[in-house]
Amino acid sequence: MSYKAIAIGASAGGVEAIRKILSALPSDFPLPILIAQHLQAQKNSHTEDYFRKYCRICIKEAESNMEIKGGTVYFAPPDYHLLAEKNGTLSLSTEGKVNYSRPSIDVLFETAADAYESKLAGIILTGASNDGSRGLAEIKRRGGLCIVQDPKTAFMETMPASALKLINADYVLSLEEIVDLLVKLPKL
């Protein structure tokens, strides 16, 4: 298959879930990871600092026109949408909230699906809204890999459950199982 990128969306309980996933990845993990995590709008989110304490993989807060590189995690800054471009860069937007959220997971997933088509793996984690369901459906429509955290294992089950109502995911997994799959993904 040869996946080119991973996109992750999370809301309430997401910081912990994402930490569990990212901290298990080696520093030479070859794929880029794009993340839209719902956070309170604030200027300095300290996201980079927080995750760097736990992760070997490179952690960055996304900036406009930033090149997407393998082995790097890109977080959407608080109160900005994160978009993936077909030319391998990232864009930010201050457009109106989507699903009451900015960053919106739908915006990230839909643009990433357009940019990477079937070579994208999308993951929906814990959360209290249904942001991301439509985005994951778009990833599915383009032939990408759809992974949803098992609602039974999620801090808040609304978001993964909502995604599963909309599409048949390829995998419904616990966080540990998601980690196992991600580690194998570059070789698939």
Partner 1 sequence: MAEIIIKDEQNLPQDEQDITVHLLLEVLYHKYGYDFRNYSRAHIKRRLLRRMALDKFEDLEAMLPALLRDKELLEQLLADLSINATEMFRDPSFYKRLMSEVLPVLRTYPQIRIWIVGCSSGEEVYSVAILLKELELYEKSTVYATDFNEKILISAKEGIYPIELIKGYTRNYQLSGGLSSFSDYYVTKYSCAKFINGLKENIVFASHNLVTDSSFINMHLILCRNVMIYFDKVLKNRVLRLFHESLNGGCFLCLGTKENLSGTDFEDKFSVFAENERIYKKKLI
Q: Is 186 helix (H, G, I), strand (E, B) or coil?
A: helix
Q: Considering only CA atoms, which of 149, 136, 145, 147 is closest in space to residue 175? A: 149
- Nearest approach, Cβ of 100 to partner 1 (angstroms)? 13
User: What is the binding site for partner 1 (CB under 8 A)?
Assistant: 43-44, 61, 63-65, 77, 80, 83-87, 91-96, 102, 107, 110-111, 114-115
- Nearest approach, Cβ of 160 to partner 1 (angstroms)? 25
How far apart are alpha carbons 83 and 7 in whole angstroms?
11
- Nearest approach, Cβ of 64 to partner 1 (angstroms)? 4
Name the residue type at position 91: S
How far apart are alpha carbons 117 and 1 in whole angstroms?
12
Exposure b/e, 148-174, CB count within 10 A at least 16 = b? bbbbebbbbbbbbbbbbeebebbebbe
Residue closer to partner 1 by CB (options 57, 107) is: 107
Instruction: Find all residues with CB under 8 Å of 49, minimum gap 6, and list them.
Output: none
Give the residue numbers annotated as catalytic, written as ranges: 11, 38, 131
- Nearest approach, Cβ of 26 to partner 1 (angstroms)? 28
Residue closer to partner 1 by CB (options 40, 94) is: 94
3 neighbors 145 (Cβ within 8 angstroms): yes
Residue closer to partner 1 by CB (options 97, 152) is: 97
Residue closer to partner 1 by CB (options 61, 131) is: 61
**Token pair for residue 125?**
């984690």
